Amino acid sequence: MQIKYACIFIFFFILLIINSVFPKSIFSQSCSEYVRIDIYRCDFDPNPETGECGEVIYDYIDTKVRCVWDNETKSCLSLWGICSSNDSCVKNNGKCFCTASVVDCNIIGGGTPPPGGCTTTTPSITSIQWGVPNANKVTINFNGGVGGNRNDIAFGKNKGNVDTKCAFSTVGCVSDLNVTSPLIVNKNLFATGTVYYFKVWNIAGSCTKSSNIKQDISSCEISPNTMNFGIGGPSQLLTSEVVSTNVWLSSPTDVKVTFNTSPTGIASVSPASETNSYPYRTSVSPVSVGTTNASSNVYLDNVLSCTATNPTVVNVTSNTPSCTLSLSPSNLIRTEGASPVTFTATVTPVNGSVESVRFTSSNTNAATVTTPDNSGPTYTTTATIANNVNSQQVTTITAYARVGGVVDLCYDTSILTVNDSIPSNSPWWQVVDGDVTTEEDIISEVPSDNVFIADGAGGFPGVPVYGTSLDTVSGGISSLSWNANTLTSQPRIFDYAYFEALIPDAVVGNGDTYDGYEWNIISNPTATLNTTNFGNRKVIYFIDGNLNIDGNITLDNGVGFFVAFVSGNITINPNVTNIEGMYLTYKPF
């Protein structure tokens, strides 16, 4: 007898432990897991207790869940309605229906209403407060209704998705269960200037009711913050941050933004409204001297939804500012991957001060620029040359000055050409132990591992002197980087005629030797030099015409000598890899 009572005591003690560790709601998880399944199925055996095909569960389970059991039943313990299996549903009379698994659950209507019928009332979204209680929050106010067990809410950009509590997708849609009003959420859940939809549910199983969908817009500010005009000055654009007309092809049918100024008569807006026309903009023009505020209203389906809280201050003055701007350098040629280039804008203002200069690049495949520069008196930008252009790219660098509050009052441009990188076997030219002088450009596509002017026997390079620009592409200038950007004045021109006048009278010029040198005087529109190894010979050419070099010209180091004085152009065949000697012309080389 004592053993029997001991067993009974142990049995109830174990039940009490189970009940305290695993409350009833835990054993209803197999149903609650399926609260998002919309389809109600009755293709299995009915409830073994009631004979019904599923029923509404009121106790310890989401009251909107309806469960269907399969035909496998298990023995149940009756104390406090606890079942011996987690695959179970609890009935309000304390009985358990234990099965091998929950076949299906339903969250949409149906089932047996509670005794006395439905007493739930319809909830409603009352208001959306953006930036409340602080700038990083949004407060959703709603009337949850009565007669339900809890309130659920959903909001997002897709009206249809919100209507089903984000059942289709959680992308851009947020659902929150068991909420109270006011509901405060983070503002970063909402994109700027976008239409959103809100819906609330009063949950009561088959008696659940939901609100109408409320639409609202997250914000509708305008920019810029200020506009400054002189009488007769050009118009400026005022832009609303509203970024969409219809979202996900759902209502509102129309998004209309209207623009206005207050007081009127100081500035005008045109157009006065834009409907379903992103971006929403208007042109503001000065009318008379004074200060006014430009603002905007946003209407969703012709209902006012949002007014800009920070209107643009418009100032109109009597003295119209003006300016002139000069951008330098005016034109440049660079190769991809070259060092950044600095452009300088010099601005001369009238009736106002320079506030800033902004820079643009018309082709960012060629170069990008830094902008704006707000400090004077000179204003600069750094143009970063593209690394891989594949083909020649040309961009227009433009500098715009803001003077006296007027944006882009004056401007100037520069053309920057960026060439493709030079293949490793591309032709280039080099000077050893000598100077190069020109009144214009010096360009040699020197490889990165070489220099334009090499050191001579004395250990020093020459100096390139140029009037416009020096471009050695990837290579260096010289070991000491000497160069002079200056115009030179030569009292004597060392051209073809100068050297021709120095030919001794005894020279015939048909290859004869005079004073140890072979002399050749050729008068021909175009002379051609093919591959020639002059060896240790000393050869002088005077060519009154053009010279085409179609082959390599070589000499024995320290012994041979070759010079060509040409009155016309000197053209080198691209297949030529090496020419030695001295060449003089005052024409293109």
What's the pLDDT tens digit per position in 283-318?
999 999 899 999 999 998 888 988 998 999 999 987
Tokens, residue 409: 């009052």
> How far is the C-alpha of 123 from the C-alpha of 259, rounded, in Å?
36
Q: Is 20 helix (H, G, I), strand (E, B) or coil?
A: helix
| Sign of the CA dihedral running 46, 49, 55, 59 | negative
User: In which element (H, E) is residue 161 found?
Assistant: helix 159-163
Non-local (6+) Cβ contacts of 426 within 8 A are 445
Other beta carbons within 10 angstroms of residue 566's beta carbon come to 22
Query: For residue 433, what are the CA distances in angstroms to 90, 461, 470, 560?
Result: 101, 5, 18, 18
Other beta carbons within 10 angstroms of residue 405's beta carbon come to 19
Amino acid identity at 576: V
Amino acid identity at 475: G
Tokens, residue 200: 């609330």
Q: What is the pLDDT of residue 244?
A: 64
User: In which element (H, E) is residue 160 found?
Assistant: helix 159-163
Select from 282, 202, 200 the least CA-distant residue to 237.
282
8 Å CB contact between 460 and 482: no
Express the helix, strand and coil content of the chain in percent, nearest 5 each.
10, 40, 50
Say whether the peptide bond before residue 263 is cis (omega within 30 degrees of 0).
yes
Other beta carbons within 10 angstroms of residue 502's beta carbon come to 7
Non-local (6+) Cβ contacts of 165 within 8 A are 152, 154, 175, 199, 201
Q: Is 518 helix (H, G, I), strand (E, B) or coil?
A: strand
8 Å CB contact between 538 and 518: yes
Residue 448 phi, psi (nearest 5): -65, -20
User: In which element (H, E) is residue 286 found?
Assistant: strand 281-286
User: In which element (H, E) is residue 499 found?
Assistant: helix 496-500
Q: What is the pLDDT of residue 115?
A: 56
> How far is the C-alpha of 586 from the C-alpha of 589, rounded, in Å?
8
Q: Is 157 helix (H, G, I), strand (E, B) or coil?
A: coil
Tokens, residue 313: 């201050």
DSSP β-ladder status, 570-572 and 538-549: parallel
pTM of the model: 0.40
Q: What is the pLDDT of residue 60?
A: 28
Q: What is the pLDDT of residue 114?
A: 53
8 Å CB contact between 37 and 104: yes
Residue 30 phi, psi (nearest 5): -65, -25
Q: What is the pLDDT of residue 97?
A: 39
Alpha helices in 1-67 (DSSP H): 2-21, 29-32
DSSP β-ladder status, 195-203 and 209-210: antiparallel
Select from 475, 472, 479 the least CA-distant residue to 433.
479
Q: What is the pLDDT of residue 512?
A: 92
- Determine the number of helices (DSSP H) and then strands (DSSP E) in the chain: 4, 46
> How far is the C-alpha of 515 from the C-alpha of 518, rounded, in Å?
9
Residues of the chain whose pLDDT is less than 70?
Answer: 1-117, 206, 244-253, 422-426
Select from 148, 178, 152 the least CA-distant residue to 165.
152
Give the pLDDT confidence of 426-479 residue by residue, as tens digits. 678 888 888 888 888 899 888 887 899 998 888 899 999 998 899 988 888 999
Tokens, residue 184: 């405060």
DSSP β-ladder status, 102-106 and 124-130: unpaired
Query: For residue 424, what are the CA distances in angstroms to 421, 446, 462?
Result: 9, 10, 25
Residue written as tokens 């140890």? 516
DSSP state of 434: -
Other beta carbons within 10 angstroms of residue 412's beta carbon come to 19
8 Å CB contact between 520 and 541: yes
Other beta carbons within 10 angstroms of residue 395's beta carbon come to 23
Angle, CA of 20, 24 and 29, to the nearest 5°: 125
> How far is the C-alpha of 551 from the C-alpha of 215, rounded, in Å?
80
Domains of the chain: 30-100 (no CATH), 124-217 (2.60.40.10), 221-317 (2.60.40.10), 322-419 (2.60.40.10), 431-485 (no CATH), 496-585 (no CATH)
8 Å CB contact between 572 and 549: yes
- In terms of phi and psi (left: phi > 0; alpha: psi -120 to 50; beta: otherwise), the region of 131 is left
User: In which element (H, E) is residue 4 found?
Assistant: helix 2-21
Select from 500, 506, 505 the least CA-distant residue to 540.
500
Select from 565, 559, 571, 557 the least CA-distant residue to 585.
565
Q: Is 171 helix (H, G, I), strand (E, B) or coil?
A: coil
